[in-house]
């Protein structure tokens, strides 16, 4: 049920269980840090293997065999290369992705008005998530470039510790195009990914509460609501993985030494779209589905603990 703003005018910031004020948005920002930083860092071994499958498919032709190859050549530590920039980069990205999504969603709903924002919910979810990810990627880009370089460089050819790696990226910025050389392909990967992630999450949550859990949302227990959150997040993540995989492969290819100095078009032409779209896709579907499900679950668990309620399904 809609809650009117103090002046009696309809306001999207007053539709939830609590007003969407500065405190609400800042808590959502913290929830985004927890959701993205911890999950991305926790699956570093999968990410290391996936990146190497993309840049050297002849050597790394499967998830299990790829993990075994990396472990045999570099030890178990090799599977955790890039943990530092992954944790810091995706913590920053998560803060902007989730925090700004809540802000932009409210702004766009208020610009559209009550009737249009109800009629065109999907368009608002897409616009809000795209706007948030635009800024999130600017924060992520330098650390993502560092992470990919660490993970795809042959053992012993590039520093592994985060600060040493960042220093080396800066020293070689004419060659590495640090700090924003990968921003355009990052946008091309992350903006469609995030639009799919938020649109399909919100849509699937709405389906659950329309067709499965048909009583008012607030009548269900928090574990039930968080179960809906996780299932919706996982299913949305599978869609995300397929949508964004070609661009993700391109970002990984840019970190390959043999592609130094080549343009995006040249790399894409040489590798081929079919290869960009399929190499490492099974691993990425598993990784992103699980990742997205847990991200939404962590985010909504934090929001629930803060008294803000779970996302979507209104």
What string of DSSP letters covers 95-163? HHHHHHHHHHHHHHHHHH-HHHHHHTHHHHHHHHHHHHHHHHHHHHHHHHHHHHHHHHSPTTSS--SHH
Mean pLDDT computed over 99-111: 97
Q: What is the 3-state composition of the chain as percent helix, strand, coil, each rounded to the nearest 5?
A: 75, 0, 25
56 versus 199: the higher-pLDDT residue is: 199
| 82 conformational bin, left if phi > 0, alpha if psi -120 to 50, beta if neither | left
Number of domains observed in the structure of the chain: 1
Mean pLDDT of the chain: 89
End-to-end CA distance of the chain: 8
281 versus 96: the higher-pLDDT residue is: 96
Measure Cα distances from 26 to 30, 262, 303 in Å. Answer: 6, 41, 11
- Give the pLDDT confidence of 247-273 residue by residue, as tens digits: 777 777 776 777 776 777 777 777 787
Answer whether residue 2 shows pLDDT above 70.
no
314 domain-assigned: no
Q: How confident is the model at residue 188 (pLDDT cuts 50, 70, 90)?
A: confident
Can you tell me the distance from the alpha carbon of 190 to that of 138, in angstroms, rounded to the nearest whole number? 11
- Give the pLDDT confidence of 25-55 residue by residue, as tens digits: 999 999 999 999 999 999 899 889 988 887 7
Can you tell me the distance from the alpha carbon of 197 to that of 128, in angstroms, rounded to the nearest whole number? 12
Mean pLDDT computed over 136-152: 95
Helices 63-74 and 281-305: crossing angle, nearest 10°? 90
58 domain-assigned: yes
3 domain-assigned: no
Asked if residues 41 and 295 have their Cβ atoms less than 8 Å apart, the reply is no
Q: Where is 218: in which H helix or E strand?
A: none
Q: How confident is the model at residue 205 (pLDDT cuts 50, 70, 90)?
A: very high
pTM score above 0.85: no
- The residues, any chain, with a CB within 8 Å of residue 309's CB and separated by 6 or more, are 16, 17, 18, 218, 303
CB atoms near residue 311 (< 10 Å): 25
48 domain-assigned: yes
Domain region containing 40: 17-305
Which tokens in the block code for residue 184? Answer: 């355009």
What's residue 5's pLDDT? Answer: 53
11 domain-assigned: no
Q: How confident is the model at residue 7 (pLDDT cuts 50, 70, 90)?
A: low
24 domain-assigned: yes
Q: For residue 48, what is the domain's CATH number? A: 1.50.40.10
Mean pLDDT computed over 164-183: 93
What's residue 288's pLDDT? Answer: 82
Most confidently predicted of 34-38, 57-61, 154-158, 290-294: 34-38
172 domain-assigned: yes
Can you tell me the distance from the alpha carbon of 16 to that of 109, in angstroms, rounded to the nearest whole number? 13
5 domain-assigned: no
Q: How confident is the model at residue 180 (pLDDT cuts 50, 70, 90)?
A: very high
Answer whether residue 240 shows pLDDT above 90.
no
Per cent of the chain over pLDDT 90 is 63
């Amino acid at each position: 049920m809609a809650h009117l703003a103090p002046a009696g005018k309809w306001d999207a910031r007053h539709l939830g269980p609590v007003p969407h004020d500065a405190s609400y948005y800042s808590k959502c920002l913290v929830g985004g840090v927890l959701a993205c930083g911890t999950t991305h860092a926790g699956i570093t071994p999968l990410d290391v293997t996936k990146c190497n499958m993309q840049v050297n498919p002849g050597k790394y032709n499967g998830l299990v065999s790829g993990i075994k190859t990396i472990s045999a050549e570099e030890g178990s530590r090799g599977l955790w290369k890039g943990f530092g920039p992954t944790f810091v980069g995706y913590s920053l990205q998560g803060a902007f992705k989730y925090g700004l999504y809540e802000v932009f969603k409210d702004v766009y709903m208020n610009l559209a008005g009550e009737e249009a924002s109800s009629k065109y919910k999907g368009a608002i979810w897409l616009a809000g998530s795209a706007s948030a990810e635009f800024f999130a990627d600017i924060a992520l880009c330098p650390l993502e470039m560092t992470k990919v370089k660490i993970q795809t460089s042959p053992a012993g050819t590039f520093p592994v510790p985060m600060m040493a790696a960042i220093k080396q990226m800066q020293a070689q910025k004419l060659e590495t195009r640090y700090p924003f050389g990968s921003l355009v392909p990052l946008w091309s990967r992350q903006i469609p990914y995030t639009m799919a992630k938020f649109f399909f999450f919100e849509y699937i949550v709405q389906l659950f509460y329309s067709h499965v859990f048909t009583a008012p949302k607030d009548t269900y227990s928090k574990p039930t609501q968080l179960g809906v959150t996780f299932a919706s997040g996982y299913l949305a993540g599978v869609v995300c993985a397929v949508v964004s995989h070609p661009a993700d492969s391109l970002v990984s290819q840019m970190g390959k030494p043999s592609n130094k100095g080549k343009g995006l078009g040249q790399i894409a032409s040489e590798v081929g779209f079919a290869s960009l779209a399929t190499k490492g896709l099974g691993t990425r579907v598993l990784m992103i589905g699980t990742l997205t499900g847990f991200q939404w679950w962590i985010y909504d668990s934090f929001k629930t603990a803060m008294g803000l309620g779970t996302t979507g399904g209104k």
